Structure 1
Amino acid sequence: MQMTSAPHLLAEDGPEYERILGDALRHAHERPDLEGVGDRLNTEQLRTMALSATALITAAAATEYEHYVKARGELRRAATAEGADGAPAPDGPQSTAAGSGAGIGAVITVLTPLLAGSAAVIFLLVGYLLKAVGPSVTFAGSLVAAGWFFAAVAAAAILVASVGLLVTALRNGTTSLAAENEEQELPEDVARAREAWRHALLERGILPFLRDALADPTAGPAARTPHRSPNRIPKVGYSRPDFSGPDDGPAAGPRPTFTSPDFTSPDFGGPEHQPD
C-alpha cells in the first residue's frame, strides 16, 4: 500500500517514513509496550493503519522535520551555487556538436547490425541459390563472399553495441554509488537534524500510534493522535435547563381589576349634546 500524502512530509521523504515504520514493526516484539502485535492486530494491519494516518503521525515531529528540511535546502543551494561558479555547464556550438555526435553514434550503433545482417542474409541466400542452379556461374562466388563479409560486420557491430551497453551500465552504477555516498556523507548539522527528526518521528509519532492502535483496535485513526490516546479523549456533557412551573415561582401579587367602560346613548349625553 502506498503512503497517502501528508502536509508535514515531502514526497522525497515518504520512503524514509515507510522505512522507519517498517523497522518499528519488525522489532515490535522486542518492546514490552507493543506485546499485542500479532494477537489483536498483525503487522500488516498496523502498517496499513499507520500509512493511512501519516499526517497525524508526522505532525508529532513537525518541528524537527522543518529544521531538517531547512538545513537540507541550504546545503543543496550551496552545492548548486558552487557548481555554477566552479564548473559552468557547457553551451554554445561545442555542446551542440557533442550532442549531435552522440545522437549520430547511437543511430549508427543501432542501425549497423540490422543493415549488415540483412545484407548478409540476402547475399548469402542469392549466392548459394546461384551456385545450386549453375555451378559454373562465377558471380555466385562473389555474392557469397560479400554475404560473409556483411555477416562479419554485423557480428562486430553487435559486439561493439554490447560493450557500449556494459560501459553505460557500469557508469550509471558508479554515479548511483557516488550519490549514495554523498547522501551518507552529509555535513554534521544536516546529519544531526535528520537524526533528530527520525528519533522524534519514531518516539513521538509512530510508537504512540501503534500503542494506541493495539489498546483499542476499533477506534478510528482520528482518535489516535500521537499526543492523545482514546482513554484521554474528553467527554462533552450536556445538562438540561431547569424549568419551573407556575406554582414554583414567587408568590403572585394581587391581580389588577378591570371595569368595563360606561356607554351612554346619544340622547342622554351631556349638556353639550342636547337633542335637536
Structure 2
Amino acid sequence: MSFLKANSSSRINAPSPTPSNTSASGAKRKRPAEGASTVVYSQPQDQGTGEHVYTRLTYATDYLRGHPTEWMTFDDIMGFLNVPPGNIQREQLRALMRADNLGNRISWNARDETYRYKPKLNIRNAAQLKGYLQNQKSAQGLAIKDLKDGWTTVADDIKAMEDKKEVLVKRTKDGVPKTVWDNDPSIMYPMDPEFMNEWHKIAIPPNPDDLRNTLINVGLTAASQPRQIITGSKGKKKRTMRRGGKQTNTHMAHILKERTPR
C-alpha cells in the first residue's frame, strides 16, 4: 500500500498567515517610506449623522411644524439647521422647500421669501374651522387628529366652541375629542319644562316583548316585529290545447284537424 503515501514532491504547502513582501513575479515589494502621505480615494461627501440634504429638510419641516402660525425667513431656518453661507446644501434646500408637490409640507411666500408649515387642513383657529364647516358641500365631520397637525391648541379651542353651541363634538370614552361637526345655535330652542315632565312620566317596559305587544294591541306595527312572508298555494294551471298553425298542405287537413277531447 505504498502508493497511498503522499509524495514529498507533490505536497502542497499551506499559505502563510503573514503577508509576504514578495510579489507574484518574484520581485520584492518596497515598504512605504515613513512619513509619506497615503493616497485617499473618493469618499462620500456627507459622513456625519443628520447632514444629508433630505434629513435636513425633515428637520426643517419639524421645526416649522412646532411654530405653525409663524412665517420664518430662509436664513432663520438655515441657522437652525446650522448650514453656513456658501454651503452647497443651501440652494438644494431652497429648491426643495419651494417644490410644488404633495410630499412637500412647507408653504413658500414669494413676496418676502418666508416659509411656514403646510398642514393637512389649512385650519389654524376657530374662525377658519367655522368657515370651513359652513362652506363644505356635505355635513361630514372633521377628525381632530387632522386639525391638530396645524393647530396645536385645537382641543381647548374646540371645547370653547362647544360651550357656545357652535360645533358638535364626538368624544371617546376617556372624554378626548375625536370628530367635530358644524352646529347652528339659532335653530336650537329650549324645551318646555311641562312637556319634559310629561315626557319623562311615560314608562317604557323593560322587556322588549311587552313593548311590542303593547303597540300591537293599539293597532300599531312595532319596528322589531318579525317580518311575515305570506305564502299562498297556487292552483294547478289548466292545460291548454295546442292549436295548429296555418295549414298549407290541404291534402293533410283530415290529419291536422283539431279534435275535441272526450
State the TM-score, normalized to the length of structure 2. Answer: 0.21
Report which structure shows greater RCO (CA 8 Å, sep ≥6): 1
- In terms of fraction of residues, the more helix-rich structure is 1
